[in-house]
Structure 1
Amino acid sequence: MEAENDAGARSRLVALAAARGVSLAALSGLIGRNTTYLQQFVRKGSPRKLEENDRRTLAQFFGVPEQELGAGARGAVAAIGQGGGVVAPVGQRAALAEWADVPRLPLGASAGPGAHTSEEIPSGRLRFSNRWLKAQGLEPVMLSVIEVEGDSMEPTLRDGDEILVDRTPRPLRAGIHVIRLDDVLLVKRLESGAGGALRIISDNAAYPRMERPAQDVEIIGRVVWKGGRL
């Protein structure tokens, strides 16, 4: 029975990571481990169980009860549902339903000359109201928070601002997006141009506008919120 629970925790971790769109290597970094730690856990069963602090961090990141990631029955705060599955207590379910923890990725989307991409290892989380996200038509698993670098999008976005990026595939409409162009990550305003081209616009008039074929521009996601210091 215990071996089945361990296997269930491994498969659940894989499913949660896939749903959130984050790699096992990135999650290993989140818990302060080397990049292969969770891959070894999933594929080889080593370690056999997640350590308590690691399990708690991952459960908080995904917004699920620790029991889904292998917490034992002793001292558990979960109950057994009608279908035999683990169910969080009412207070915990209410808390999980109220908030969504969105991963903060240190990619440095550039509003200046450009930032080369690095591995998307979450450096923390930013909590949003699920009610607000639903009102905006946003799904938590499709969201990331990243930091803006540079001044080309001033005054709209300033250096150090954090932006909420929606990665849901949608038809392009004019607005601010995070894009990858020539293997460089940028945050720019996009508009449709002639002949299927895209206009890549900086809000700061000191920076020139660009126009590139749509196939040369990878749209990572649309910017739907910003936050920063006053």
Structure 2
Amino acid sequence: MIRKANLQLLIDREYGIGKHGAKAEFARRLGKQADYISRCLYPAEKKGGKNVGEDFAREIEREFSLPVYAMDQQRLGSDTAKTIDVEGLPAPLAQKIAGYRQVVEVPRYDVAGSMGPGTEPPEMNMVVENMSLDANWVRNNLTYTKIDNLKLISGRGDSMAPTIRSGDAVLVDSGINTVEDDAIYFFLMRGKLQIKRIQRGLDGLTIISDNGQYPPIEVPGEREEDITVLAQIIYWWTGRSF
């Protein structure tokens, strides 16, 4: 199980989390079929799965310049990395190095933003789990106010399809609480939680569903206080079944 988890971690680290075709690119680099890599990542209960064997694990380590047996250690052995000695360094640099993270733990809340008529806010925002993201991937692929402002919620409904589909995991930046840019926001309106695209115009806001079956909603400037922006959507993982 450790090798399987490390295989997924390495693919995410090299090619980006959720990137289309990442397994195929990874497979080509190792001279394997994409289907072989996919089967190595099958859940234990799914038929047709493959194990990451001893020879394949060592081959991966050589190809990606990993320490020997890194595939057999938790998170590719990143937890055992040596601490950098910051003594004597300028204070700003020492603080930056000391605060460096290899892994970003993003809390996932038991909250769903409606992509439809809206959902009732929960009585309590409860963290149900944490998602581990490679810190290098976060820094290189996301634009955010602060790492600690990153939260994970779920989308529900079809009004933002095909951009965001019902059940998708949605990464939000809770440090953004105003509409400045044309973007997708997580907000509270008339007591309902919603995920929609919002555009700012001269006379107010326009709330837009990417699904053309839902008409836009015009919010005049004097009614903007009816909308409480909780966060901006910055990334999402779209699941598909075949």
Partner secondary structure for residue 115 of structure 1: coil
- Number of aligned residue pairs: 141
Deviations 1:192-223 (A, max 9, x none): 1232x111110111112101232211111111
- Among 105, 109, 126, the alignment partner of 1:105 is 109
In structure 2, what is the Cα distance between the partners aligned to 1:148 and 1:194? 29
Q: Which residue in 1 is equivalent to 2:226?
A: 216
Q: Which residue in 1 is equivalent to 2:65?
A: none
Matches within 5 A, 1:1-230: 97-118=101-122, 119-135=124-140, 136-138=142-144, 139-169=146-176, 172-195=180-203, 197-212=204-219, 213-230=223-240
Q: Which residue in 2 is equivalent to 1:42?
A: none
In structure 1, give the amino acid aligned to 2:226: D
Deviates more, 1:123-132 or 1:169-178: 169-178
User: Percent identity between the aligned chains?
Assistant: 27
Gaps of 5+ in 2: 1-78, 88-96
Residue 82 of structure 1: how far off its partner (Å): 10
Gaps of 5+ in 1: 1-64, 66-78, 84-92
Are the aligned partners of 2:179 and 2:200 in contact in 1 as well (CA < 8 Å)? Answer: no
The alignment's TM-score, normalised by the length of structure 2, stands at 0.53
Are the aligned partners of 1:198 and 1:211 in contact in 2 as well (CA < 8 Å)? Answer: yes
Are the aligned partners of 1:117 and 1:184 in contact in 2 as well (CA < 8 Å)? Answer: yes
Are the aligned partners of 2:179 and 2:229 in contact in 1 as well (CA < 8 Å)? Answer: no
In structure 2, what is the Cα distance between the partners aligned to 1:102 and 1:161? 16
In structure 1, what is the Cα distance between the partners aligned to 2:232 and 2:197? 10
Are the aligned partners of 1:164 and 1:225 in contact in 2 as well (CA < 8 Å)? Answer: yes
Deviations 1:69-118 (A, max 9, x none): xxxxxxxxxx9x999xxxxxxxxx99x82111111111110001110100
In structure 1, give the amino acid aligned to 2:188: R
Change (3 A) 1:105 1:199: same
Change (3 A) 1:171 1:110: closer
In structure 1, give the amino acid aligned to 2:172: V
Change (3 A) 1:198 1:82: closer
In structure 1, what is the Cα distance between the partners aligned to 2:162 and 2:131? 23
In structure 1, what is the Cα distance between the partners aligned to 2:224 and 2:110? 26
In structure 1, what is the Cα distance between the partners aligned to 2:161 and 2:86? 55
Are the aligned partners of 1:193 and 1:211 in contact in 2 as well (CA < 8 Å)? Answer: no
Q: Which residue in 2 is equivalent to 1:59?
A: none
In structure 1, give the amino acid aligned to 2:225: Q
The alignment's TM-score, normalised by the length of structure 1, stands at 0.56
